[in-house]
Amino acid sequence: MATQRHYSPIDRLLLQADTAMRTLLPFSGHPSRPSPAVVQPEVTMDKQQSRHVAGLMRINHTGEVCAQALYQGQALTAKLPQVRKAMEHAAEEEVDHLAWCEQRIRQLGSHTSVLNPLFYGMSFGIGAAAGIISDRVSLGFVAATEHQVVKHLDEHLLQLPAEDAKSRAILAQMRSDEQAHAESALDAGGARFPAPLRFGMSLLAKVMTKSTYRI
């Protein structure tokens, strides 16, 4: 019978550091699923369209950096083993999204955001703090965050050029995964955040999107 490995606090900190490096260093993430864009045809877009799509994908890449950090912070401080395991599983799926977005950004001749380390640190701290408060708050924060992500993805899907099937396929799959994360967090007992708190989270998200579109 297989036994579950138990990590010491030092082990967990080292694992967190390794995850941070793999999240922030270029081409360090190894997706478990192939990109949905692989089966879609490449099309020629003008410079303005390519620059706009690259900006949208850069926003989504940074959003996945934040999600990865959030889940890792919450997993570090989660009180119940099943909650920690759920956070770690969600983080694994975010690695797919990270890699897919980065691949598409490079195909468009652009770069990921130089602000990613800043947003990773902020998100990790928020996630760890939520986990310290309670698992219910931590799960609620996941649900609220993922709902914000789904909203942004819907907006970006509307802004994509009709012929850009590669970017559309990536964002559509990401939307499906993020919606599932939100529902799973609520089903697991996550708190439903009040409207004023969700509004505050929305303002923070706008700061991230405005700053990473070009930088």
In Å, what is the CA distance from 59 to each residue of 75, 130, 141, 203? Answer: 24, 24, 20, 15
pTM above 0.75, yes or no: yes
Domains of the chain: 9-18+47-212 (1.20.1260.10)
Please tell me the predicted confidence (pLDDT) of residue 186: 80
In this structure, what DSSP letter does residue 38 have?
Answer: G
d(CA 44, CA 47) in angstroms, rounded, equals 9
Query: Is 52 part of any known ligand binding site?
Result: no
Query: Is 146 part of any known ligand binding site?
Result: yes
Please tell me the predicted confidence (pLDDT) of residue 2: 43
- Phi, psi (degrees; rounded to nearest 5) at 40: -95, 145
- Looking at the predicted structure, is the pLDDT value of residue 174 above 50? yes
Confidence of residue 15 (pLDDT cuts 50, 70, 90): low
Q: Cβ(65)–Cβ(118) under 8 Å?
A: no
d(CA 51, CA 49) in angstroms, rounded, equals 5
Query: Is 181 part of any known ligand binding site?
Result: yes
- Looking at the predicted structure, is the pLDDT value of residue 188 above 80? no
In Å, what is the CA distance from 145 to each residue of 70, 79, 88? Answer: 9, 20, 16
3 state DSSP class of 28: coil
Confidence of residue 196 (pLDDT cuts 50, 70, 90): low
Name the residue among 105, 205, 191 with its Cα closest to residue 145.
Answer: 205
- 185 Cβ contact list (under 8 Å, min separation 6): 86, 139, 140, 142, 143, 146
Confidence of residue 54 (pLDDT cuts 50, 70, 90): very high
The model's pLDDT over 80-128, given as tens digits with 9 standing for 90+, comes to 676 666 666 667 777 889 899 999 999 999 999 999 998 888 888 888 8
Confidence of residue 51 (pLDDT cuts 50, 70, 90): very high
- 27 against 144, higher pLDDT: 144
Name the residue among 155, 144, 151 with its Cα closest to residue 70.
Answer: 144
| Percent of the chain's residues with pLDDT above 70 | 78
